[in-house]
Amino acid sequence: MPCSKAMVTKIISVRADQTIEDVLKVFNKHGIRGVPVMEGENILGVFHLRNLLQNLLPVNVNVEHGVNLDMRLDYLVDIEPEVAQRLRKLLKIKVRDVMEPEADLRFVTPETPLWEGVRLLVKYDTPLAVVEEKHSTKLSGIITSQSMVKALLDIAAEKK
């Protein structure tokens, strides 16, 4: 079975020049946590809710070479005003400045075997960009964990 069986083709996307505030409104409206960042039909990157949340973490946790999520934060109290101030600044930032760039994304084609898509979802825990052909950035769809669950349920129903 090909990845096209798990592919979402009605893509909700944003532009790189939109603000994080714009994107959060899209998330809220559609009940989603991530979107491809597009220029025309080409994917430039992906913006996830975790991109925002990582930038809200205190600087000593959000270190230069990745986020240190092993550091406990339960000692921080009464920091809501600082977090709110930080959030207000972040909402004005352009998506291009915090998105995961195209070079860091995982790509499959519609013909890629579904099980390779499952493997990539498990390994990287991020939606997969489905492109028309290898080494292309022309987006055909995306595969999310939710769309993969639907495809797996369809497989289970077929085998009965």
**Segment 75-133, tens digit of pLDDT:** 555 656 677 788 889 899 999 999 988 888 889 999 999 999 999 999 988 888 888 88
- What does the DSSP assignment read for 18-76? SBHHHHHHHHHHHT-SEEEEEETTEEEEEEEHHHHHHHHS-TTTEETTEE-TTS--TT-
Q: Global pTM? A: 0.77
What is the rounded distance in angstroms from the CA atom of residue 117 to the CA atom of residue 83?
A: 37
pLDDT category of residue 36 using cuts at 50, 70 and 90: very high
Q: What is the mean pLDDT of the chain?
A: 84
Give how many domains the chain has, as a whole number: 1
- Report the CATH number at residue 149: 3.10.580.10
Domain containing residue 128: 3-158
* Structure-token match 């600082």, residue found: 82
Residue 12 confidence (pLDDT) above 90: yes
Residue 136 confidence (pLDDT) above 90: no
**Segment 38-54, tens digit of pLDDT:** 999 889 999 998 888 88
What is the rounded distance in angstroms from the CA atom of residue 47 to the CA atom of residue 127?
A: 11
What is the rounded distance in angstroms from the CA atom of residue 51 to the CA atom of residue 153?
A: 30
